[in-house]
Chain A
């Protein structure tokens, strides 16, 4: 047995652990490429790497062992338009499942997977060589064809359009795993004690990745009848976003996002109640339909008359609802499969969290 399959569990875990330790100081190296402030990059890096701590990696290995499954031969991973840390988890799961992975990086990739691979090679060439990287544009679809042809399973992250285009090009005998773009929502039940700590936790969910991730909350639904009205909650969230701006400032605002922000905030100021900070805004929009937020810390708070109405409201988003941050007892409808977490945890799901309703090892192993 050679390559990744010949590596012991201990060597594999040690290599990942060493690479993770190297990445811990890479925020400055990544710099402006993440689009976030240096503090925002550090937060994203720290929370992502914390999930890759030895205890979690060991537990993941145990989970794979318990499946009594055999690894497939090879894995193709297409990353497109994701937040800068998004590539690490699928690469690590591939390694844990002992499946060499060929990664197609996004054109806007900040370089974290590249740094991770280099660190792995230094720690254990056998492990590092199991990760190979490629960059090609959508103008060269034949490169994708070559990638899909050469692997047993292909995971595609990206927009619905990208996924459908690549699915159509993928040979039918290959396993195709799609991870589309999406959005998150935060829900506050009326019985919850709304403290500054709770609102600060939600502010972290909003501020993390400058609200550009598919786990980022696009809006907050606050059940009416609690001690704090939904309108008052909007004011508290504004204050919390002011606080977090001091410790984790917003990053760059691309001008095209700025154009959308101007529209979103203008509508909020003209039709709703807008709280505007230096680099954030909260709009209280009552029971109105949820509007698209431009992200970058622009968030709307909506009133929800009764939590029992939540299923109907979120069912509209179907598979695109990726994350639900909850405070209080919230029943998640069966028609959606978001990652459900407490406030402050929306952007740091556990290593073994199911995405799109499937486990992270989907396609990597075949149960015996």
Chain B
């Protein structure tokens, strides 16, 4: 199935004459008869430089954009129909997060009315109708987290509550709470955090953030789970804490991929899968990426533990050995 969809996308690119995937396949001598390792994955950066879509622009229904920029450009992912995106998002969140029960939603991310190009805001807004109880609380403003609104919402909470937010918004919330302040959540509640800190909040280890959130919201640590998604994908991966009922002995969260997603850590030089358990750069084949490209090469590091994914992040802060400067840094104003 994956090979067939990839081939269809290749053919669509050949027809339009501007297919990045088609060019990539030609350059990398793609074969579709030897399994997914036979064809290349489109790097996420390509979404910043070119349109990656198997349909013409006039049929765009929605275009999601990345939050970060490279060379002043944001990555763009166009959709002509969001049905598949919605089915994928609802199905996976129902299985791994909400698990058959609705919850009162407190959302620490921009509302889609003010962040129309954010895929996360779109998904969270859909969560409110799929999984929410009563009116959702959108507690992120352009000035940051509305802490009083969060306090108010949580002090009234009698029902299962889900706090859904970006990692940097959650760090802002933690920093804004009084020392020792606790906001206990009702039984069955959970916190879903997503995204890196990207220099927008103080740097904090994922396990430390989980422990702090667990302490403030008086939740077992396994009820703080991560969502892993990106603009260039149509599916999401989630931490397995809620299903498992405990955190892993090594403290590292394992992510569960939907059955229609395949995650493969690859070697950066050969792009071949690394040996089992070894760290590689994550390639993600997502069948829900039907209208762009099913095979996406991320810049994220990770490894597989059985059928689970351990995400190691992007290491942007790794100490460089040399003194060379990135072009973007050289061009950054005020530097």
Say whether B71 contacts A259, CB under 8 Å: no
Q: Are B297 and A214 in contact (CB under 8 A)?
A: no
State whether the Cβ of A317 lies closer than 8 Å to any Cβ in chain B.
yes
CB-based contact A261/B20 at 8 Å: no
Q: Name the residue on A nearest B43 (C-beta).
A: A266
A289 to B328, CA, bound (A): 11
Check if B41 sits within 8 Å of A266, measured CB to CB: yes
Name the residue of chain A whose CB is nearest to the CB of B27. Answer: A269
Residues of A contacting B328 in the complex (Cβ-Cβ under 8 angstroms)? 292
Q: Which of A40-54 contact B (CB under 8 A)?
A: none
Smallest CB-CB separation from A210: which chain B residue? B322
A186 to B: closest C-beta gap in Å: 14
> Quick check: A214 and B325 within 8 Å, CB to CB?
yes
Q: Is A37 an interface residue (CB 8 A)?
A: no
Would you call B21 an interface residue if the criterion is a C-beta within 8 Å of the partner chain's C-beta atoms? yes
The answer to whether A278 and B325 have CB atoms under 8 Å apart is no
Cβ–Cβ contact B299 & A81, under 8 A: no
**Chain B residues, CB < 8 A from A259:** 268, 281, 299-301, 314-315
Q: Does B320 lie at the interface of the complex (its beta carbon under 8 Å from any beta carbon of A)?
A: yes
CB pair A269–B23 under 8 Å, yes or no, is: yes
Which of A123-131, A193-201, A248-256, A360-368 is near enough to bind chain B?
A248-256
**Contact check: which of A35, A86, A256, A274 meets B323 at CB < 8 Å?**
A86
Give A260 to B319 CA distance when docked, in angstroms: 14
Do B327 and A261 touch across chains, with their CB atoms under 8 A apart?
no
Given A263-B299, A279-B269: A107 and B319 interface contact (C-beta under 8 Å): yes
B43, A258: Cβ atoms under 8 Å? no
Q: Is residue A316 contacting chain B, with contact meaning CB distance below 8 A?
A: yes
Answer yes or no: B324 CB below 8 A from chain A CBs.
yes
Interface band, chain A = 35 or more
Once the chains are docked, how many angstroms separate the CA of A216 from the CA of B279? Answer: 29
Which of B45-53, B55-63, B117-125 is found at the contact surface with chain A? Answer: B45-53
Interface residues of B, count at CB 8 A = 47
The yes or no answer to A24 lying at the interface (CB within 8 A) is no
Q: Restricting to B24-50, which residues have a CB under 8 Å from any CB of A? A: 24, 27-28, 40-46, 49-50
B271 within 8 A of partner (CB): yes
Q: Is B4 an interface residue (CB 8 A)?
A: no
Q: Is the interface of A mostly helix, strand, loop or mixed?
A: mixed
Q: Is A359 an interface residue (CB 8 A)?
A: no
- Asked if A271 meets B71 with Cβ closer than 8 Å, knowing A213-B324, A255-B301, A263-B43, the reply is no
Q: In the complex the two chains form, is B323's CB within 8 Å of A82's CB?
A: yes
B46 near A271: Cβ-Cβ < 8 Å:
yes
Partner of A271, one of B20, B314, B324: B20
Known A-B contacts A182-B325, A213-B322, A262-B268; A320 and B335 likewise in contact (beta carbons under 8 Å)? yes
Q: Which residues of chain A have C-beta atoms less than 8 A from B331's C-beta?
A: 316-317
For A81, A262, A292, A316, the residue with the greatest tally of chain B CB atoms inside 10 Å of its CB is: A262
Nearest chain B residue, comparing its CB with the CB of A295: B324
Nearest CB in chain B to that of A316: its residue: B331
B321 at the interface (CB under 8 A from A): yes
**Given A258-B281, A262-B271, A263-B297 in contact, is the A270-B24 Cβ separation under 8 Å?**
yes
Q: Which residue of A lies closest to B13 (CB)?
A: A270
A93 within 8 A of B: no
Given A259-B315, A290-B327, A291-B71: A266 and B40 interface contact (C-beta under 8 Å): yes
In the complex the two chains form, what is the Cα distance from A123 to B68 in whole Å? Answer: 54
Q: Is A176 an interface residue (CB 8 A)?
A: no
Tell me whether B269 and A254 are in contact (CB under 8 A).
Answer: no
Write out the residue numbers on chain A whose beta carbons fall within 8 Å of the beta carbon of B23: 269-271
Q: Tell me whether A83 is interfacial, beta carbon within 8 Å.
A: yes
Which residue of A82, A270, A318 is within 8 Å of B322 (Cβ)?
A: A82
The answer to whether the Cβ of A94 comes within 8 Å of any Cβ in the partner chain is no
Name B residues whose Cβ lies closer than 8 Å to a Cβ of A: 20-21, 23-24, 27-28, 40-46, 49-50, 70-71, 266-269, 271, 279-281, 297, 299-301, 314-316, 318-331, 335
Selected A-B contacts with CB under 8 Å, 24 pairs: A83-B322, A83-B323, A107-B319, A160-B329, A211-B322, A213-B323, A255-B279, A255-B280, A258-B281, A259-B281, A259-B300, A262-B268, A262-B299, A264-B45, A266-B41, A269-B28, A271-B23, A271-B50, A279-B269, A291-B327, A292-B326, A295-B322, A316-B331, A317-B330
Sample of 6 more A-B contacts, CB < 8 Å, known A218-B324, A259-B281, A271-B50 = A81-B320, A211-B322, A213-B322, A263-B297, A271-B23, A320-B335
List the 7 closest A-B pairs by CB distance, nearest first.
A212-B322, A258-B268, A266-B43, A256-B315, A320-B330, A269-B27, A270-B24
